[in-house]
Amino acid sequence: MNAPTSRTPGGVSRRAALTGLAAGAGSLALPGTAQAAPTAPSPSAAAADPTPGAMKLFADPGFDFAGLLALGAAGMRASEVGEVLTAVNAVNAAGPSEQSYTDTFRAWGDRLAAPPAAGRHGGEVPPQTRRFRSLRAAQYYAQALFYVLGTTSPADEKAVYLAGRAAWDAFTGLCSPAAVRAEVPYGGTHLPVWFFRPEDPARPRPTVILTNGSDGQNVDMWTYGVSAALDRGWNALVYDGPGQGQLLFVEEIPFTTRWEKVVTPLVDWLVARGDVDAGRIALTGLSMGGNLVARAAVFEHRLAAVVCQPGCLSPWLGFDKELRDVVMPDKAETNRVWNEDVVPELTPRLAFTVKKRFEIFDRQALRQARAGKVLTDLWTPAQVAIGLDVTRLVPKIKAPTLVLDYDFEQFYPGQPRQMYDLLRSRREYVKMTEATGAQLHCSPMAPQQHCDVVFDWLDGTLRPDRS
C-alpha cells in the first residue's frame, strides 16, 4: 500500500482500487468479510458504533457481524449462546483471523455432528437431542465455511460445505414431520429442495419460498423463515439455486442473472401438491436474495406476495466506486489493469475478500480461489454482478411487496428506499432500528423481530378474506 501510485487507463489508481476493496468488503455477503464497512452510512446511522458495549464480540466489524449472526440464531435454536461465546473467546485468544475463526467453528461443528458421549443415561440418544445438535452443527459449519478460503487449506471449502450439508440433512430428517426432500429440474441439473409442513393434518396451506443470498446457508433459512412459518401454520420451501449451496460448492454452478428461471420450476412443483394453497404462495429473499426475488416476481405471476430483505436494486453498486471503476468495457484492458496494477498489491486479507466475493459469479474464479489464487479474470464475474441490476424491472412487479431496510445497513445503503419508491404494486416499507437491537444488514441480533415483521405482513396480505 505504500508503493507509488500508478494511474490506470480507466482513471483509477492502484491505491484507490485497493481502498475500494477494503471499503466495500462483504457487500455481497451475508456474514460480512473481515473488513471495514462501506464509507457511506445509512441515513439514520447517528452513533459511531453500530454494535456498542456487550454487542461487541470482535473489534473487527466483519468478524463481529458474523459472530452476531451466529449468536442471534440462538432464538430459533440454531445456535447456543454459550457455545457461540465460548468460540468467540477462543478466536479472540488465538488472535482473530480467517484461520482461527474457521478452525474454531469447524471444531464446534465436528463436536456437535458426532453422537453425544455414550452411556450418559444408557440406550440410544433421543431424536430430540440429535435434531437440534445437528442444526447447531450446521450453523457452526456455515460460520467456518465463510472464511475457509482465507486459511492455509482453501481446498477444504467443499468438504466444509458437505459437513454442514450432512448436519442440515440430519436435522431436516428428524423434524416432525420430516421435511420432504426432492430435486426440482433446472436447466441441465436439479435444485435441491426441502419442504417443511406443520404437524397438523395435511390441508392446503399458505406457503413461503425462502431464498438465500450470496453466501448464506440453509440453516439461515430456518432462522429467517422456516421456524416462524411452521409456528403460524404455513408450509416453507428451502432450496439451493445457482451460486448457492450444492450447486456452487459441489457442482460449481455460479449465479445466474435470470432468477425467474429458478423460481418458476419451484412454483410448478408446489402447485402440484395437494397440501399447498396455490393462490397463497409467497416469495422472500434474504440479503442479496432481496434482489433475486424482485426479478423473479416480474416474470412469475403466480406469486401472491414478495418480501425483499432488504430491497436491493444492484448488488454491483454494493462494491466501492473505485473498485467498480477498474471494470472497463474492454475485457482485455480490465484484466491487464487488474493483474498488473491491483493484484500484486493485495494483502492476504484483501486477497481473501476478492476470492470470497467473486467465487459465486464464475467457475474459474471459484477454482482459482480453492487453489489459493486470486482470480485473473475480473471482467467476467463482474458482468454477472452488473447484470443483476433490477432498477428498470421493479416498476413491473404486480404482487404486493414488502421492502425491509435496516439502521446501519452496511452493504446496500439507500437501495431499499429507492426500490420502494420504484414499486407500483401494493407496497410497504419497514425500517428495522437500533432502538430495538435490530440494526445492521438482516438484523443479525434480532431474527425473531425480523420474522414477526415479515410474517405479520404476509398473514395480513394473504389472509383468505382479503379482497
What does the pLDDT read at residue 118?
57
Quick one: pLDDT at residue 322? 81
| Bond preceding residue 38 cis, omega within 30 of 0 | no
Does the structure show a pLDDT above 60 at 267? yes
How would DSSP label each residue in 174-187? HSSSPPEEEEEEET
Average pLDDT over residues 5-20: 43
Say whether pLDDT at 8 is over 50: no
Other beta carbons less than 10 A from residue 435's beta carbon = 8
Q: Give start and end residues of each alpha helix (H) in 98-208.
A: 98-113, 127-147, 157-174
Three-state DSSP class for 166?
helix
Cell of 108: 464446534
Phi, psi of 405 (to 5 degrees): -135, 170
Whether the Cβ atoms of residue 268 and residue 377 lie closer than 8 Å to each other: no
Q: With 70 as the cut, is the pLDDT of residue 88 above it?
A: yes
Higher pLDDT, 47 or 450: 450
Residue 342: burial class (beta carbons within 10 Å; 0-12, 13-18, 19+):
buried
* Residue among 338, 287, 281, 329 at smallest CA distance from 308: 287
Average pLDDT over residues 25-40: 33
36 — pLDDT class (breaks 50, 70, 90)? very low
What are the b/e assignments for 383-418, b being 16+ CB within 10 Å?
ebbbebbbeeebebbebbbbbbbbbbbbbbbbbbbb
C-beta of residue 303 within 8 angstroms of C-beta of residue 267: yes
Give the pLDDT of residue 466: 60
Which ranges of 218-313 would DSSP assign to H, the alpha helix?
218-221, 227-231, 245-249, 260-271, 289-299
pLDDT greater than 90 at residue 128: no
Q: In what order do the strands lie in the sheet with 276-286?
A: 180-186, 189-196, 235-239, 205-211, 276-286, 305-309, 401-406, 427-432
Of the chain, the percentage scoring pLDDT greater than 70 comes to 88
The enclosing H or E element of 226 equals: none
Predicted local distance difference test score (pLDDT) of residue 461 = 97
Q: What is the spatial distance between Cα 335 and Cα 365, in angstroms, rounded to a whole number?
A: 13
Q: How confident is the model at residue 121 (pLDDT cuts 50, 70, 90)?
A: low
Cβ-in-10-Å burial (0-12, 13-18, 19+) of 446 comes to buried
* pLDDT value at residue 18: 53
| Residue 179, phi then psi, degrees to nearest 5 | -65, 140
User: CA separation (Å) from 335 to 10, 190, 403?
Assistant: 11, 33, 37
Task: Find which of 126-130, 192-196, 342-346 is predicted with most confidence, using mean pLDDT.
Answer: 192-196
Band of residue 185 on the pLDDT scale cut at 50, 70, 90: very high
For the segment 346-356, the average pLDDT, to the nearest whole number, is 94
CA angle 156, 158, 159 (to 5 degrees): 65
* 249-261 core/surface letters (b: 16 or more CB in 10 A; e: else): beeebbbbbebbb
The pLDDT of residue 22 is above 90: no
pLDDT of residue 280 exceeding 50:
yes
The count of other CB atoms within 10 Å of the CB of residue 135 is: 26
Looking at residue 162, its pLDDT comes to 98
A 10 A CB-CB count for 450 gives 26
Mean pLDDT of 441-448: 97
| Mean of pLDDT over the chain | 90
Distance from chain centroid for Cα 386: 18
CA 84 to mean position of chain CA atoms: 19
Residue 200 confidence (pLDDT): 87
Q: Is 53 exposed, middle or buried (0-12, 13-18, 19+ CB in 10 A)?
A: exposed
CA distance 341 to 338: 6
- CA–CA distance, 384 with 256 (Å, rounded to integer): 7
Q: Average of pLDDT values for 3-20?
A: 41
Indicate the pLDDT class of residue 11, thresholds 50, 70 and 90: very low
pLDDT for residue 127: 86
Other beta carbons within 10 angstroms of residue 123's beta carbon come to: 8
Taking 70 as the threshold, does the pLDDT of residue 1 lie above it?
A: no
Give me the pLDDT at residue 321, please: 86
Band of pLDDT at residue 191, cut at 50, 70 and 90: very high
Name which residue leads in pLDDT, 439 or 124.
439
Residue 330: band (very low, low, confident or very high) from pLDDT cuts 50, 70, 90: very high
Question: Where does the pLDDT of residue 46 fall: very low under 50, low under 70, confident under 90, or very high at 90 and above?
Answer: very low
CA dist 352 and 101 (Å) reads 14
Give the whole-angstrom CA distance, residue 32 versus residue 90. 20
Beta strands in 223-365 (DSSP E): 235-239, 276-286, 305-309
C-alpha cell at 56: 461487541
